[in-house]
């Protein structure tokens, strides 16, 4: 390890840029995961498989049907929104009725089953061949001595836009407020006439949709194949733990933080060790600050 390399501004900048792009990949998925946990109290293990479906939708719409990139992303968002709502209504809602104190774990195990089903359904229906796009927008931007492909800039920009959109939505729209109210006190929300079941279904749909958008956006980096979601899922779990379960801004900041840490780790350690570092970091955070690094006062632990 030669830390003096950090004194070279172009290397530092390059690593920061890579970290931001990497971080934006994690953040978008983590926001969905965090949203679903914050409102429904469900830790969705199948989040990576929603990502995988998003990647397939993108491939199908863009590569097979020849529609533009934006149509692929929109299609992934819509398809996953519907898939998410179906999962909630058909599986999670019935479980909620019969589960008691073990709810968190029961729901987690249920989504584990879902992971196995989705991965193998994909293998069965489309095979395990990798199907990706080489690039969305050709070319790259050269600035301050570093070079960033347009694709990566699009990923970064899209994450910021979608992330901000979600934040504005839950913050300022009536439906967003009802979603937050349900997350804080479902019974009180119900007393005001908010249909908590509907809110749960929609929220799961939105969270799934965000995973689908990430899957579509990242298709140039992660081509579609049945188990493609596992690594991004693990990373988004790490981000959510770092940012605090259920904390949306925490998920974004945590995503960028993890991305930058990993970019530096890849540079200074041998490739592969960044995954070890991530896992160890998560263990450390869970031990020292289980409420996450950015827990705000009043947030749930």
Partner 1 sequence: MSLTISGLTAGYTREVPILSGVNLRAEEGMVTTIIGPNGAGKSTLLRAVFGYLKPASGTVEHFGRTVTGLEPEQMLTEGVAYLIQGRSVFPSMTVAENLELGCWTIRRDRRRVLDALARAYEQYPRMAEKRNARAGSLSGGEQRMLEIARITMTNPRTLLLDEPSVGLMPSLVEEVYQQIGALKKAGYLILLVDQNIRKALQIADYVYVLKMGANSHHGPAAEFKHRLADIIKEWI
Partner 2 sequence: MRAAKLAVLLGALVLAPLFVSDHFILSILIAALMFGVFGAIYDLMVGYCGLTNFGYAGFIAAGSYASALGASFMGVNPWVGLLVGGILCMALGFFTGLIALRVKGLYLGLLTWFVGETIRLTIANSTEITRGMLGLTVMPFPDLLGIDFSRANLHAYYYALLVIGTAIVLACWWLVNSNAGRAFKAIRDDELAAESLGLSATKYKLINFSIASFFTGIVGAFYAHYIGILSPSPTEFGVSRTIEVLTVTYLGGRGTLFGPIFSGFLIVGFQEALRGIGAWRLILFGALLISVMLFFPRGLATLKKWLW
Where on the chain is the footprint of partner 2 (CB under 8 A)? 43, 91, 94-95, 98-99, 104-106, 108-110, 112-121, 123-124, 230, 234, 237-238, 241, 270, 272-273, 275-276, 279-280, 282-283, 286-287, 290
Smallest gap, in angstroms, from Cβ of residue 184 to partner 1?
4
Q: For residues 145 and 8, is the Cβ–Cβ distance under 8 A?
A: no
Smallest gap, in angstroms, from Cβ of residue 32 to partner 2?
17
Residues in 174-203 that interact with partner 1 by CB under 8 A: 174, 177-178, 180-181, 184-185, 187-195
| Using rule CB under 8 A, residue 299 touches partner 1 | yes
Smallest gap, in angstroms, from Cβ of residue 109 to partner 2?
6
Of residues 150, 127, 295, the one with CA closest to residue 227: 127
User: Considering CB distances under 5 to 8 angstroms, the limit depending on partner class, which of partner 1, partner 2, none binds residue 220?
Assistant: none
Tell me whether residue 21 or residue 199 sits nearer to partner 1 (CB atom): 199
Tell me, residue by residue from 243 to 262, as one string, x for binding to partner 1 by CB under 8 A and - for no binding. --------------------
Smallest gap, in angstroms, from Cβ of residue 300 to partner 1?
9
The tokens describing 83, both together, are: 């898939």
Phi and psi angles of residue 229, each rounded to the nearest 5 degrees, phi first = -75, -15
Smallest gap, in angstroms, from Cβ of residue 180 to partner 1?
6
For residue 96, CA distances in Å to 16, 105, 197, 265 come to 43, 12, 10, 41
CA distance 60 to 93: 31
Of residues 195, 226, 252, the one with CA closest to residue 53: 226
Smallest gap, in angstroms, from Cβ of residue 225 to partner 2?
13
User: Considering CB distances under 5 to 8 angstroms, the limit depending on partner class, which of partner 2, partner 1, none binds residue 104?
Assistant: partner 2
The tokens describing 152, both together, are: 């990566």
Tell me whether residue 272 or residue 298 sits nearer to partner 1 (CB atom): 298
Tell me whether residue 141 or residue 286 sits nearer to partner 2 (CB atom): 286
Tell me whether residue 65 or residue 279 sits nearer to partner 2 (CB atom): 279
CA distance 252 to 258: 10
User: Considering CB distances under 5 to 8 angstroms, the limit depending on partner class, which of partner 2, partner 1, none binds residue 187?
Assistant: partner 1
Name 241's bridge partners. Answer: none
The tokens describing 262, both together, are: 């990993």
Q: For residues 248 and 239, is the Cβ–Cβ distance under 8 A?
A: no
Q: Which residues contact 208 (CB under 8 A, 6 or more apart)?
A: 32, 36, 50, 80, 81, 83, 84, 85, 87
Smallest gap, in angstroms, from Cβ of residue 26 to partner 2?
15
Tell me whether residue 14 or residue 45 sits nearer to partner 2 (CB atom): 45
CA distance 204 to 186: 15
Name 149's bridge partners. Answer: 140
User: Considering CB distances under 5 to 8 angstroms, the limit depending on partner class, which of partner 1, partner 2, none binds residue 174?
Assistant: partner 1
Q: For residues 258 and 23, is the Cβ–Cβ distance under 8 A?
A: yes
Binding site for partner 1 (CB under 8 A): 174, 177-178, 180-181, 184-185, 187-195, 298-299
């Amino acid at each position: 390890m030669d830390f003096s390399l950090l004194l070279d501004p172009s290397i530092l900048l390059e690593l920061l840029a890579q970290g931001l792009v990497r971080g934006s990949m994690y953040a978008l998925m983590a926001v969905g995961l965090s949203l679903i946990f914050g409102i429904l109290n469900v830790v969705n293990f199948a989040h990576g498989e929603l990502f995988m479906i998003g990647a397939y939708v993108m491939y199908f719409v863009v590569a097979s049907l020849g529609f533009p990139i934006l149509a692929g992303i929109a299609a992934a968002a819509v398809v996953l929104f519907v898939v998410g709502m179906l999962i909630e209504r058909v599986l999670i809602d019935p479980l909620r009725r019969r589960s008691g104190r073990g709810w968190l774990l029961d729901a987690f195990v249920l989504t584990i089953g879902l992971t196995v089903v989705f991965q193998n359904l994909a293998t069965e229906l489309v095979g395990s061949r990798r199907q990706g796009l080489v690039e969305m927008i050709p070319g790259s931007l050269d600035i301050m001595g570093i070079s960033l492909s347009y694709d990566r800039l699009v990923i970064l920009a899209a994450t910021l836009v979608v992330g901000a959109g979600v934040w504005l939505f839950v913050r300022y729209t009536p439906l967003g407020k009802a979603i937050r109210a349900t997350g804080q006190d479902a019974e009180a929300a119900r007393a005001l006439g908010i249909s908590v079941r509907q809110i749960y279904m929609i929220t799961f749909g939105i969270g799934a949709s965000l995973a689908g958008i990430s899957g579509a956006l990242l298709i140039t980096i992660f081509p579609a194949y049945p188990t493609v979601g596992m690594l991004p899922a693990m990373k988004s779990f790490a981000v959510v733990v770092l940012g605090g379960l259920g904390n949306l801004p925490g998920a974004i900041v945590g995503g960028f933080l993890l991305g930058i840490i990993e970019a530096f780790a890849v540079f200074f350690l041998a490739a592969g060790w960044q995954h070890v570092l991530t896992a160890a970091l998560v263990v450390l955070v869970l031990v020292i600050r289980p409420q996450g690094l950015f827990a705000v006062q009043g947030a749930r632990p």
